[in-house]
Structure 1
Amino acid sequence: MHALRYVRTLKHFTRNVACAVALASMPVGVVHAQNAAPKDKASVIARGEYLARASDCIACHTMPAGKLFAGTRPMDTPFGTLYTPNITPDKSTGIGAWSADDFYRMLHEGKSKDGTILYPAMPYASYTRMTREDSDAMYAYLMSVPAVHQPNRPHTLRFPFNKRELLLGWRTLYFRQGEYKADPTQSVEWNRGAYLVEGPGHCAMCHTAINALGGSSASKAFEGGLIPMQNWYAPSLTSNREAGLGDWSIEEISDLLQTGVSKRGAVYGPMAEVVYDSLQYLSDEDIRAMAVYLKSLPARSGQSAGTPTAAVTEEKNRLYPLGKKIYDAQCAVCHGVDGKGKVPHFPPLAQNQSILMTSAVNPVRMVLNGGYPPGTTKNPSPYGMPPFAHTLSDEEVAAVVTYIRTAWGNNGTPISGKEANELRTAPLY
């Protein structure tokens, strides 16, 4: 899961981005980092930097405005708080005493240098798909960044979740070790996209529902779910009623992934952080490959909205007039009286899947808290949305969100003032 923030220390990452992008589409190497010849060392490190971006390592292992990869970032979970480790090459507090074999074991098996099983907040269930060559390149890069002497903080998990031996059961249920195997029936581009999405990108960690044990079912992969402790909903990528991409073009998907905005909408919240810290730095070829793979995901759920009950219809009719009044006064100037927006800067609300999802968490949070798409190389000055938590009551928030979800042919359901109130105190990121 991603630790969320908008301010990041980027100076160490930008050093080799140009070289890394050029290397992004090259075939997987065959030289292990620890055996690389001196003339190849710079290219291996650059490739590792690119892969660290693709894996979004900075998201969890760097405090806001802190030293790169020094760790100690708190990650709240339903089981307590985890603190991310120092992964700089400091020999006593970081991974400076680790070998490339140790690093690969960590990514591939989810075990530390001393054999300690890692908590699955570290996405080794996805990283296990990464090749040994890519692991070695990431190791070479991490060994090249400045060492930071930063002692690690102990986790503060509740009993019995502080007993690591319980992780053996979790691994039996939810962890399948093994590198990605290419599908010979698919294209090279599709397989590259699958590798990035399922491996370093670990997209399923957010876009698959997490159960009470902190695990997810492979049969439910990419079907969406509420991100624990963050109160944002990661939409289904397999349902055209949510964020299913079957009727999106490859260009529209690519734009959203790489720039944060497209003709179909914009990213906010956790996904904005992913684009800001990770996806904007990937090559056009890799972004397109990811789009090709994501577009191919089979539709598995959420294709029918169902018939609203009489009570739902009555609530919608009650809130609709107030919602329209608020929308016309506060929202229409950007999103249009017809809800069609002014793409790409002001996304459409009519027939926008992120508005029509079963869960109304995201539109409620946007009305309450506002937000910006990420500032990216290809969209450096994004347009944002102001917060309305200080000017609208719970009932007014419910009314305008209900209006947006049911106007212009939208077939969403109304929300209540109670639902709006519950999200007022949710952490921003």
Structure 2
Amino acid sequence: MKRKSLFALSAVVVVAAAALVPVLWSGGDNLHNGTAMAATPADQAALIKKGEYLARAGDCIACHTVRGGKQFAGGLPMATPFGTMFTPNITPDDQYGIGKWTQDDFYRAMHTGRSKDGSLLYPGFPFTSYTKVTRADSDAIYAYLRSVTPVNVASRPHELKFPFNQRNMLIGWRTLFFREGEYKADPTKSVEWNRGAYLIEGLGHCGMCHTSINAMGGPVNSAAFAGGLIPLQNWYAPSLTSNKEAGLGDWETKDIADLLKTGVSNRGAVFGPMAEVVHNSLQYMSDEDINAMATYLKTIPQKSEAPEPLQLETSEKFGGELLKQGQKIYADNCAKCHAENGLGMPPSFPPLANNQSIQMPSAVNPIRMVLNGGYPPSTEANPHPYGMPPFAQALSNTEVAAVVTYIRMSWGNHGTAVSPQQVSDLRSAPLD
């Protein structure tokens, strides 16, 4: 759902991240040197505090801060199919940041995908989602960013291949894939449901990962939220529209909320890019917002599934051999934590039996977990999560394929056998 969630489209985040809580604003006339000013110092302090929450919830820091670098100073490289892009400085520095931006400039970037000078922003900055953000939320984030320490560091130029370095080409892209407009509440739904829809569809920009993209770097809108392989990260963001993957329709709301807030629940745990989202962002959201998101996620209707990622099929005979070999590997390496019957010991050790993420058409995620291991996010409610050790050095490509095949086809799971070639491809894939 965020962070390098953010990599799911073809370009870079170019300005601030999402807003998550409506904020009362005193009006657009109270400006001082381009800075949003509330009616009183107390009002301004409250606005900044709200904006900090929104910026944290929108995970601004994940894209606009290099590890070990100055907060919000940008410079994070983002590899895309079209070249490498670098996130900008969004501190209130007058020379290199947004120090000379007004709140109108900031809202225009969020709402229309245009920079202060009117130039088109690349869609890695998720303005296709952020256009739904309310003006009040945008103003609150702006007020907060204006309050942080300025950093006098220039934004690094993008390194895009021709013709993708021609911004004018974005006019055609926007015609095909961008529809401007703030979120409109559905009057037939509850306030909580609408809040969840606002967070998921707009502010959370979850569709950037959970929707497949086409060759133009645009979302496959006919299969929105139906899952997709995140380019160059080699993680699969599962479908939110199907209970066969992560539709969550048969989950208890509490389990969904636990997963979003802590990274673990009785139904499973998050790893990879989603673990970073929980660690950097979702754990800081209010219980009310988390429950609203869970309420909405339970109701996302079935839709056409996304194009299936490449799945190298094995013959029935070879699949049977892998299944038999995988049973022994599982007993030797996995059963201690996940149990012989695959039920695990949740939430510390998630169940593998009847686990949707194990059975999806794409086997990318379970293969990567066996190869590289990982941890759920460390959160306030779960500060010392149990991790999964890597087996890349201990198991061959065939052995990894065997144990993943066994997990996907045992205890009533309905997955298919995986190919050692697919394991080989993922073994050499970058981890970030």
Task: Report the Cα distance in structure 1 between the residues aligned to 2:172 and 2:342, rounded to whole angstroms.
Answer: 49
Does 1:166 pair with 2:169?
A: yes
SS at structure 2 position matched to 1:199: helix
For residue 179 of structure 2, the aligned residue among 165, 176, 179 is: 176
For residue 357 of structure 1, the aligned residue among 353, 356, 360 is: 360
**Per-residue deviation at 1:336?**
0.3
Task: Report the Cα distance in structure 1 between the residues aligned to 2:26 and 2:294, rounded to whole angstroms.
Answer: 29
Task: Report the Cα distance in structure 2 between the residues aligned to 1:274 and 1:234, rounded to whole angstroms.
Answer: 13
Task: Report the Cα distance in structure 2 between the residues aligned to 1:242 and 1:313, rounded to whole angstroms.
Answer: 24
Where does residue 74 of structure 2 map in the other structure? 71
SS at structure 1 position matched to 2:351: coil
- Whether the aligned pair in 2 keeps the contact of 1:192 and 1:290 (CA below 8 Å) is yes
Where does residue 16 of structure 2 map in the other structure? none
Task: Report the Cα distance in structure 2 between the residues aligned to 1:419 and 1:156, rounded to whole angstroms.
Answer: 30
Task: Report the Cα distance in structure 2 between the residues aligned to 1:32 and 1:54, rounded to whole angstroms.
Answer: 24
Does 1:2 pair with 2:3?
A: yes
- Whether the aligned pair in 2 keeps the contact of 1:51 and 1:200 (CA below 8 Å) is no
For residue 398 of structure 2, the aligned residue among 374, 395, 409 is: 395
Task: Report the Cα distance in structure 1 between the residues aligned to 2:386 and 2:168, rounded to whole angstroms.
Answer: 48
One-letter amino acid of the counterpart of residue 215, structure 1: G
> Which aligned pairs between 1:175-324 and structure 2 lie closer than 5 A?
175-301=178-304, 312-324=315-327
- Whether the aligned pair in 2 keeps the contact of 1:54 and 1:196 (CA below 8 Å) is no
> Which aligned pairs between 1:124-139 and structure 2 lie closer than 5 A?
124-139=127-142
Where does residue 334 of structure 2 map in the other structure? 331
**Per-residue deviation at 1:24?**
7.6
Task: Report the Cα distance in structure 1 between the residues aligned to 2:25 and 2:284, rounded to whole angstroms.
Answer: 24
For residue 384 of structure 2, the aligned residue among 365, 381, 394 is: 381
Task: Report the Cα distance in structure 2 between the residues aligned to 1:260 and 1:271, rounded to whole angstroms.
Answer: 8
**Per-residue deviation at 1:187?**
0.5
- Whether the aligned pair in 1 keeps the contact of 2:223 and 2:305 (CA below 8 Å) is no
Does 1:142 pair with 2:142?
A: no
SS at structure 1 position matched to 2:4: coil
For residue 26 of structure 2, the aligned residue among 24, 31, 52 is: 31
One-letter amino acid of the counterpart of residue 343, structure 1: P
Q: 1:4 to 1:253 in 2, by over 3 A?
A: closer
**Per-residue deviation at 1:217?**
2.8
Task: Report the Cα distance in structure 2 between the residues aligned to 1:36 and 1:426, rounded to whole angstroms.
Answer: 49
Where does residue 85 of structure 2 map in the other structure? 82
One-letter amino acid of the counterpart of residue 207, structure 1: H
SS at structure 2 position matched to 1:229: coil
- Whether the aligned pair in 2 keeps the contact of 1:24 and 1:47 (CA below 8 Å) is no
TM-score w.r.t. structure 1 length? 0.92
Task: Report the Cα distance in structure 2 between the residues aligned to 1:407 and 1:391, rounded to whole angstroms.
Answer: 23
SS at structure 2 position matched to 1:325: helix
**Per-residue deviation at 1:152?**
0.7
**Per-residue deviation at 1:4?**
7.8
Corresponding residue pairs, total = 406
- Whether the aligned pair in 2 keeps the contact of 1:88 and 1:148 (CA below 8 Å) is yes
**Per-residue deviation at 1:301?**
4.3
Q: Structure 2 unaligned runs (5+)?
A: 7-18, 29-35
**Per-residue deviation at 1:247?**
0.2
**Per-residue deviation at 1:53?**
1.5
SS at structure 2 position matched to 1:105: helix
- Whether the aligned pair in 1 keeps the contact of 2:227 and 2:305 (CA below 8 Å) is no
Task: Report the Cα distance in structure 2 between the residues aligned to 1:287 and 1:150, rounded to whole angstroms.
Answer: 35
